[in-house]
Amino acid sequence: MKIFIRITVFVAFVLSLAFTAQAAEIKIGVTEALTGPVAKYGVPIKNGFVLAADEINAAGGIKGNKIVLVIEDEQAKKEEAINVFKKFIFQDKVLAIFGPTLSNSAFASDPIANKEKIVVFGTSNTAEGITDIGPYVFRNSVAEADILPIVTKVATKKLGLKKVAIIYGNDDSMTKSTYEIFLRSIKAEKLEVVDTETFAKGDIDFSAQLTKIKSLNPDAVFCGALVEEASNIILQARKLGIPNKIRFIGGNGFNSAKLIEIGGAAAEGSISGSPWFLDDPSKINQTFVKAYTKKYGMAPDQFAAQAYDALYIMAEGIKAISLSGNVEKDRTTLRDALAKVKNFKGVGGLFSFNESRDAEQKGRVLYIKNGKFAIYAE
């Protein structure tokens, strides 16, 4: 009898070993701006990934395999993004990469991933041309080119715009892209541009540009800026006497909770576009908002939401392949599977990749109302 028990225990032990040996770790690289001004976007993005990974792992992982996020700070610097990508690809041997935060860095780092045939998935890159880098480049952030024409059209109609001013950062890929697409959209709406002003990243005094804009009395100001500069521009505009009824209309840079936190009353009424907003009543969104708020002690923003959805979208792709253990091979099969993800139900609504691996998702025009993003028009 004793021997029988011993044998049974031994067999169970060997079986459990065999079972654990089968479960693999799925390493995914996450590189975002976790320090410096752009961390206002990068930290919520990282938080969204970590929450999704914890949930997926707590529910048993992907076919029993746990997700391991390898997280690195790219500091919103091109050279850092390049270094981290090389580390992920050659040293950590990750299956796929998320990041970097800015389109500006993605234009430098994504060609490396594309050349080495590894999926790079941006959750916050909205500039024109990102997925043109190559077939391994994906994003679930809605491109400025898709949302800004709608934002411009709605704002023009609702506010009766006729003449507008533009201010944008001329040293960043996304803010320049925002400018170009706004200009196209403004022309399509047959509006007159009375003034175009520029600034550089890190500028803190916008009084020269804003004084000029004020003197020309536009109906609204279109703004291509990251949130640090955008908040200061709006604050200074109000101090200089540009009233809240002259709305600021922005690109993806505006979709951060920090615009409200820093801009306060000055930012009220500002308009932007996104598929997601905090009060979206869908059950999946409210469950996410609750879980995120519990974990981090603050509400998520669009950047957290898109990262959260992105990991689940990635998991759909991984679920569809059989991991061979040969990471180079698995990277290419993952690319093909990911490109087929359609009709994913996320916190930002129904999502599909289109044929150029860009986001196909319904955008909404939002505005800041009583310190919260609210629907301006569906």
> Applying CB under 6 A, does 101 fall inside the site for ligand 1QQ?
yes
Q: By rule CB under 6 A, what string of x and - marks binding of each residue 302-331 to ligand 1QQ? A: ------------------------------
Rule CB under 6 A: choose which of 30, 32, 34, 41 binds ligand 1QQ: 41
Closer residue to ligand 1QQ (CB): 126 or 285: 126
Of residues 115-144, which lie at the interface with ligand 1QQ (CB under 6 A)?
124-127
* Pair of tokens at residue 87: 């580390």
Q: By rule CB under 6 A, what string of x and - marks binding of each residue 248-267 to ligand 1QQ? A: ----xx--------------
Closer residue to ligand 1QQ (CB): 169 or 218: 169
Rounded Cα distance, 187 and 180, in Å: 11
Of residues 150-179, which lie at the interface with ligand 1QQ (CB under 6 A)?
174
* Pair of tokens at residue 70: 């390898």
Closer residue to ligand 1QQ (CB): 155 or 259: 259
**The residue type at 53:** A
Check if the beta carbon of residue 359 is closer than 8 Å to that of residue 147.
Answer: no
> Applying CB under 6 A, does 103 fall inside the site for ligand 1QQ?
yes
* Pair of tokens at residue 323: 């991991």
Closer residue to ligand 1QQ (CB): 124 or 185: 124
Q: Which segment (96-104, 159-167, 317-325, 349-357) binds ligand 1QQ by CB under 6 A? A: 96-104
Residue 64 backbone dihedrals phi, psi, to 5 degrees: 85, -10
Closer residue to ligand 1QQ (CB): 232 or 252: 252
Please give the C-alpha separations between residue 98 and each of 34, 83, 207, in angstroms, as whole numbers.
Answer: 14, 14, 37
Closer residue to ligand 1QQ (CB): 185 or 252: 252
Closer residue to ligand 1QQ (CB): 101 or 285: 101
Q: Which segment (84-92, 101-109, 287-295, 318-326) binds ligand 1QQ by CB under 6 A? A: 101-109
* Pair of tokens at residue 25: 């770790």
- Write down the least CB distance from residue 180 to ligand 1QQ, Å: 13
> Applying CB under 6 A, does 288 fall inside the site for ligand 1QQ?
no
Closer residue to ligand 1QQ (CB): 209 or 306: 306
- Write down the least CB distance from residue 15 to ligand 1QQ, Å: 48
Rounded Cα distance, 248 and 230, in Å: 9
Closer residue to ligand 1QQ (CB): 125 or 209: 125
Check if the beta carbon of residue 334 is closer than 8 Å to that of residue 119.
Answer: yes
Q: Which segment (100-108, 155-163, 204-212, 346-354) binds ligand 1QQ by CB under 6 A? A: 100-108
- Quote the Cα angle for 340-81-127, to 5°: 55
**The residue type at 268:** E
* Continuous segment of H or E residues that includes residue 41: helix 39-58
Closer residue to ligand 1QQ (CB): 49 or 318: 49
Rounded Cα distance, 29 and 89, in Å: 9
Rounded Cα distance, 27 and 327, in Å: 10
* Pair of tokens at residue 348: 């930002």
> Applying CB under 6 A, does 231 fall inside the site for ligand 1QQ?
no
* Residue 110: exposure state from Cβ atoms within 10 A (0-12, 13-18, ≥19): buried
Q: Which segment (97-105, 147-155, 235-243, 281-289) binds ligand 1QQ by CB under 6 A? A: 97-105
Please give the C-alpha separations between residue 345 and each of 139, 166, 287, in angstroms, as whole numbers.
Answer: 16, 36, 13
Check if the beta carbon of residue 248 is closer than 8 Å to that of residue 223.
Answer: yes
Rule CB under 6 A: choose which of 97, 102, 223, 230 binds ligand 1QQ: 102
Site size toward ligand 1QQ, by CB under 6 A: 13
Question: 144-159 and 173-188 helices cross at what angle (nearest 10)?
Answer: 50
DSSP letters, 350-378, are: EEEE-TTS-EE---EEEEEETTEEEEEE-
Query: Using CB under 6 A as the criterion, which residues of the chain lie in contact with ligand 1QQ when the complex forms?
Result: 41, 101-104, 124-127, 174, 226, 252-253
